[in-house]
């Protein structure tokens, strides 16, 4: 069976918590899933190892990724397109509408995944400070997609 890769970039731990909770929900459904902290990986080719990418990222400062994840995002934006071949992905951004560049890191991740050949499974979700309802709705939509053969399926059904 194919692997779902949940990538996260977190400064205060909120994106990490959301990603870990999503990981647990997918594991509970016996789906093959791996959690990846982008602050620990500069090599973007890790994205090519998955068959689906779920991104949970927070925005820091004036629209930057969390400090430790900057090398990954720099490498992603500077690389030639990887040719992800229509790999399904979904992005959830965490931010604060008090800043001009609201959820910019999520927008960057989505833009780069598209440039590298990914295909969105769901529209990107941008969450403000109180994000629990949006996260729950996004997670529920993903779980419905993963359980539906008509929308997005993993394993032998993935066509890229």
Q: What is the pLDDT of residues 18-66, one digit of tens each?
A: 999 999 999 998 899 999 999 998 999 999 999 999 999 988 877 788 8
The pTM score is 0.88
Q: Is the pLDDT of residue 10 over 60?
A: yes
Domain that holds residue 44: 4-157
- Do residues 3 and 49 make contact, with C-beta atoms less than 8 angstroms apart? yes
Number of domains the chain is built from? 1
pLDDT band at 89 (very low <50, low <70, confident <90, very high): very high
- Do residues 97 and 59 make contact, with C-beta atoms less than 8 angstroms apart? no
End-to-end Cα spacing for the chain:
15
Return d(Cα 114, Cα 84) in angstroms, integer.
9
Q: Is the pLDDT of residue 159 over 50?
A: no
Residues 48, 50, 51, 57, Cα dihedral to 10°:
-100
pLDDT band at 75 (very low <50, low <70, confident <90, very high): very high
- Do residues 106 and 126 make contact, with C-beta atoms less than 8 angstroms apart? yes
Q: Which DSSP category does 81 fall into?
A: P
Per-residue CA distances from 98 to 14, 77, 93, 126 (Å): 17, 26, 15, 13
Read off the pLDDT of residues 93-149 as tens digits, 9 standing for 90 and up: 988 777 678 888 899 999 999 999 999 999 999 988 677 888 999 999 999 998 874
Residues 38, 42, 45, 47, Cα dihedral to 10°:
10
Q: What is the CATH number of the domain that holds 78?
A: 3.40.50.360
Q: What is the pLDDT of residue 2?
A: 72
């Amino acid at each position: 069976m194919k692997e779902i890769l949940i990538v996260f970039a977190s400064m205060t731990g909120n994106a990490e918590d959301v990603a870990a909770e999503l990981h647990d929900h997918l594991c509970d459904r016996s789906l093959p899933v791996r959690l990846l902290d982008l602050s620990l990986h500069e090599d973007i080719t890790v994205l090519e190892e998955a068959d689906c990418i779920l991104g949970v990222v927070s925005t820091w400062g004036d629209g930057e990724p969390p400090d430790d994840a900057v090398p990954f995002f720099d490498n992603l934006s500077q690389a030639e397109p990887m040719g992800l071949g229509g790999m399904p992905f979904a992005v959830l951004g965490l931010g604060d509408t008090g800043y001009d560049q609201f959820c910019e890191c999520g927008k960057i991740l989505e833009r780069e995944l598209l440039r590298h050949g990914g295909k969105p499974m769901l529209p990107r979700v941008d969450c403000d400070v109180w994000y629990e309802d949006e996260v729950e709705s996004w997670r529920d939509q993903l779980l419905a997609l993963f359980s539906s053969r008509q929308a997005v399926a993993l394993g032998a059904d993935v066509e890229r």
